[in-house]
Structure 1
Amino acid sequence: MKATDLAGTALANTMRAKLRTFLTVVAIVIGAFTLTLTSGLGAGINKFVDNMVEGFGSPDQLTVMKQADPTSFAAGGAPQEYEPDEAAAGEMFGLPLLTAADLDRIRDTEHVTEVETARLVEPEYIEGEDGRQWQVPFMGSSFEIGALSLAAGREPAADAAEVTVPQDWVEALGGQAPEDVLGQTVTLVAADPLGKQDGVEAEVVGVTEPMASGSGSGPVPSGEVETRLHEIQTAGLPEAQRDTFFSASVTVADMAANEAAVKAALADEGYSAQTLEDQLGPIRGIIDAVTWVLNGFALIALLAASFGIINTLLMAVQERTREIGLMKALGMTGRKIFGLFTMEAVVIGLLGSLIGVGLGVAVGVVANQVLTEGALSGVTGLVLYAVEPLSLALIVLLIVAIAFLAGTLPAARAARKDPIEALRYE
């Protein structure tokens, strides 16, 4: 019997006991459906995380901060000795800030090719050309330049007094379309530590669309505007406090080869350095752990379904004992009979997996569209379910493999039957 004939016969045999086969396939469908949903959910959430951090760094960059003294966070205990130089440098959120001397040391580190910094500025308000003043709940950073999604215009030039505004600001600035506000001059007003206000005029050169990362959700200044606002906010402070940075973005030559060496060198100097993947690691770990737990329930369902396959085929072997004897009497080998029954198990597994995966993909895609365009439409870049063809193929192969293994026991029993005794079976 040829392989094609064997497959055709196996398909026909599975349809003999339609109800029994149907119930077995349903059990497999449940497992395949659950696996497809959970794997797609994990892929979707990971994709959303990627969208969230888009533009926050590149693979050849490290985010470098000064290491904090763990004793500074300890409650109680003996007081720490006061160091005037360290106190002058200041802290932010309890973490020490980088100074110009720190940046020089980082630049001198081997394999470091570029060090970029950005000031954290918080304008009191922005004044439009018509004199109206608008609050700035969130101010972007020049770090975002290069990762903005533009609805109109261009990104600010580093050495020019330029700024982009969010698309939501167009109407407030007197425009109907994003192009209408390009070329306007706005004034960003900041205050020094004593509350004295001063402004920086900047030209609106771009209008940004919101991104999942948050980039473009507030005005984004050029490096020139950012520096001038920082000078206003820190006027009157000691120089050591004015010339500080929360973190630095460090570009490394040949990151794959030099990452460990650069991290070690910076650690020796008292700095912590992390890649984007280092920062995302804990988040991805939690997502993957939850996905694996959910996949575990699906695998339990598939295990239960495998016992259904064994039971279905054992009953088929019992019912077709005389048929098996006749096939052997006509010259069919035990090997071919084994192949016939395992093929029947594979057919059942293939039917269940294809139906389950198809339903899982359909439900996942529809639910993702309904939720992201409905109740969760306010979450920019949200992805709840993502289709990964390779994962779907692996799910089908896994289920077919489980079905094949489940079918080996009944198939072996059929292959071992004695043809004479089988022909006498009533």
Structure 2
Amino acid sequence: MKFIDLLRTAIGNTFRSKARTVLTVIAIFIGSFTLTLTSGIGTGVNDYIDKTVAAFGNDNALFVQKVSEQSTSGAGQDDGPTEYNPDDANVRMGFGSMSGLSDSDIAKIEKIDGVESVDPMYMVTPKYLEAANGKKFTLSLGSPPEADGLQLEAGKTPDRAKDEILLPASWVEPLGLGSSQDAVGKTVKITIGNAVDEDKAFTVTVSGVSQASLAGSSDNPIPSAGLNKKLYDYQVSGSPRKIPNSYFTATATVDDASKLGAVKSQLADESMMGSTVEDQLGMFRAVINGIVWILNSFAIIALLAAGFGIVNTLLMSVQERTREIGLMKALGMSGGKVFGLFSLEAIFIGFLGSAIGAAVGVAAGSIISGVLSGGLLSGLPGLSLFLFDPLKTLLIILAVMFIAFLAGTIPAVRAARQDPITALRYE
């Protein structure tokens, strides 16, 4: 009997007991369906993160922040207060203060081997932003270097040398600027106070409108580097004494990506922390991958249950077809071909469940992804919650078929070992 004849016979035998076969296929379907969906979630979210990271265009950029000595390992309450260092800079926030980078810190970063350039970000706290319609809004500014990695709905990122600002898409309508395209080129006013609380309004031009993203300060307007420096200079003016520069963060560009680890280590020795965009988004990636693995475990449990179903289905089939097996062997069919016949039945059952489960999973995921993209996830343009890789889907089908083959091994071996004389006498 040729392979094609074995395959036809196996497919025909599979439907002898339709009820048992259907129930087993349903169990396999559940596992395959779940694996396909979870694979789609992992692929979709990781693809979005990869695109976000790639949008920044510079894999060699490190975002550097000061690490407070009180927050470092071993600096607990029992260690007592930290000695005051006049060279340390504190950035005042609305809820208190935090350790910032000083000019000496910037100089230390510049001296680290492999660091090509350092772009510090001044911590600016404006009072409010005033739109052309006269409405005023509280304002927290994002980091100028982060603008380069954001996807834009209209316009361009702010020019470093000009008084420009990048607005989030969610700000356009409240500011009365019309559409995103209409907002580009229009002006708004930023009012900020100095050291003696004298207010001054700065007129700035809207250079572009950004989409929402997992990275960057996409929920906050982002000023150009020049505007950020101008606002900071006024913020510290008016004081009878010189106020030392303090920076919330700095962007260090490393000349070779292979040196990133070494630069991070040297920054840590100086009580500073450096992280790439990939590091910052790593938490999202880890959480999503963790959820995917948890869901995959449930799918694997379903497949194990389906495996026992295949064993039960084929064992009963072997018992019911004992005389038939004896007749086939008496007519010259070898034990290997009998084994192959029952193995092909198991594989075919696995193929039915996995192929249908994968197809339904892809269809359901695509529909759900489309609905969410236009609704709940509309704030994250470009994110497809379910994104299916044909190769991964094929691997799921093949893996389930292999599990089915393993499950069918015991019944197939039992069938192959049947003694033809004893089998023909079976009632």
Give the Cα–Cα distance (whole angstroms) in 2 for the partners of residues 412 and 11 of structure 1: 19
Stretch moving more, 342-351 or 163-172 = 163-172
Q: Which runs of 5+ in 1 are unaligned?
A: none
Stretch moving more, 351-360 or 292-301 = 292-301
| Mapping for residues 337-376 of structure 1, pairs under 5 Å | 337-375=338-376
Give the Cα–Cα distance (whole angstroms) in 1 for the partners of residues 164 and 2 of structure 2: 75
Residues 30 and 302 in structure 2, CA contact (< 8 A), matched pair in contact too: yes
- The match for 1:39 is 39
Q: CA RMSD in A?
A: 2.9
- The match for 1:327 is 328
Give the Cα–Cα distance (whole angstroms) in 1 for the partners of residues 343 and 317 of structure 2: 12
- The match for 1:245 is 247
Give the Cα–Cα distance (whole angstroms) in 2 for the partners of residues 323 and 137 of structure 1: 82
SS in structure 2 opposite 1:247? strand
- The match for 1:139 is 141
Change (3 A) 1:141 1:237: farther
SS in structure 2 opposite 1:118? strand
The residue type equivalent to 1:417 in the other structure is: Q
Give the Cα–Cα distance (whole angstroms) in 2 for the partners of residues 85 and 216 of structure 1: 32
- The match for 2:125 is 122
Residues 69 and 271 in structure 2, CA contact (< 8 A), matched pair in contact too: no
Change (3 A) 1:288 1:197: same
Relative to the length of structure 2, the TM-score reads 0.87
Give the Cα–Cα distance (whole angstroms) in 2 for the partners of residues 286 and 182 of structure 1: 37
Question: Once the 2 structures are TM-superposed, how far is the Cα of residue 214 of structure 1 from its aligned partner?
Answer: 5.8
- The match for 1:270 is 271
1:81-104: CA deviation from partner (whole Å, max 9, x where unpaired): 333333xx2245764211122112
Residues 99 and 240 in structure 1, CA contact (< 8 A), matched pair in contact too: no
Give the Cα–Cα distance (whole angstroms) in 1 for the partners of residues 31 and 241 of structure 2: 65
1:307-346: CA deviation from partner (whole Å, max 9, x where unpaired): 1101111111112222222222222211111111101100
Alignment of 1:98 onto 2:101: yes
SS in structure 1 opposite 2:234? helix
Residues 146 and 216 in structure 2, CA contact (< 8 A), matched pair in contact too: no
Alignment of 1:150 onto 2:172: no
Give the Cα–Cα distance (whole angstroms) in 2 for the partners of residues 94 and 187 of structure 1: 27
The residue type equivalent to 2:350 in the other structure is: G
Give the Cα–Cα distance (whole angstroms) in 2 for the partners of residues 183 and 161 of structure 1: 12
Change (3 A) 1:182 1:36: closer
The residue type equivalent to 2:160 in the other structure is: A
Residues 149 and 216 in structure 1, CA contact (< 8 A), matched pair in contact too: no
SS in structure 2 opposite 1:102? helix
Residues 52 and 213 in structure 2, CA contact (< 8 A), matched pair in contact too: yes
Give the Cα–Cα distance (whole angstroms) in 2 for the partners of residues 329 and 54 of structure 1: 67
| Mapping for residues 5-404 of structure 1, pairs under 5 Å | 5-47=5-47, 58-70=58-70, 74-75=76-77, 78-86=80-88, 89-91=89-91, 95-128=98-131, 132-170=134-172, 175-213=177-215, 215-236=217-238, 241-255=243-257, 257-375=258-376, 377-378=378-379, 383-404=384-405
Question: Once the 2 structures are TM-superposed, how far is the Cα of residue 304 of structure 1 from its aligned partner?
Answer: 1.2
1:277-314: CA deviation from partner (whole Å, max 9, x where unpaired): 33344443333233222222221111111111011111
Give the Cα–Cα distance (whole angstroms) in 1 for the partners of residues 171 and 164 of structure 2: 16
Change (3 A) 1:267 1:402: same
Residues 208 and 217 in structure 1, CA contact (< 8 A), matched pair in contact too: no
The residue type equivalent to 2:193 in the other structure is: A
The residue type equivalent to 2:224 in the other structure is: S
The residue type equivalent to 1:345 in the other structure is: A
SS in structure 2 opposite 1:352? helix
Give the Cα–Cα distance (whole angstroms) in 1 for the partners of residues 187 and 287 of structure 2: 46
Question: Once the 2 structures are TM-superposed, how far is the Cα of residue 402 of structure 1 from its aligned partner?
Answer: 1.0
1:248-305: CA deviation from partner (whole Å, max 9, x where unpaired): 22222331x3233222222333322223333344443333233222222221111111
The residue type equivalent to 2:231 in the other structure is: L
SS in structure 2 opposite 1:306? helix
SS in structure 2 opposite 1:246? strand
Q: Which runs of 5+ in 2 are unaligned?
A: none
SS in structure 1 opposite 2:274? strand
How many residue pairs get aligned? The number is: 422
The residue type equivalent to 2:200 in the other structure is: D
Question: Once the 2 structures are TM-superposed, how far is the Cα of residue 157 of structure 1 from its aligned partner?
Answer: 1.3
The residue type equivalent to 1:19 in the other structure is: A
Stretch moving more, 44-53 or 121-130 = 44-53
Alignment of 1:421 onto 2:422: yes
Stretch moving more, 170-179 or 281-290 = 170-179
Stretch moving more, 241-250 or 163-172 = 163-172
Give the Cα–Cα distance (whole angstroms) in 1 for the partners of residues 36 and 132 of structure 2: 55
Relative to the length of structure 1, the TM-score reads 0.87
Give the Cα–Cα distance (whole angstroms) in 2 for the partners of residues 240 and 398 of structure 1: 69
1:177-230: CA deviation from partner (whole Å, max 9, x where unpaired): 444444334332211243211122323333334444465544332111111111
Change (3 A) 1:94 1:47: farther
Change (3 A) 1:127 1:292: closer
- The match for 1:407 is 408
Question: Once the 2 structures are TM-superposed, how far is the Cα of residue 22 of structure 1 from its aligned partner?
Answer: 0.8
Change (3 A) 1:413 1:241: farther
Residues 212 and 381 in structure 1, CA contact (< 8 A), matched pair in contact too: no
1:332-381: CA deviation from partner (whole Å, max 9, x where unpaired): 21111111110110000010011112222222222233334235545655
Stretch moving more, 29-38 or 165-174 = 165-174
Give the Cα–Cα distance (whole angstroms) in 1 for the partners of residues 199 and 8 of structure 2: 84
Question: Once the 2 structures are TM-superposed, how far is the Cα of residue 245 of structure 1 from its aligned partner?
Answer: 1.2
Residues 212 and 380 in structure 2, CA contact (< 8 A), matched pair in contact too: no
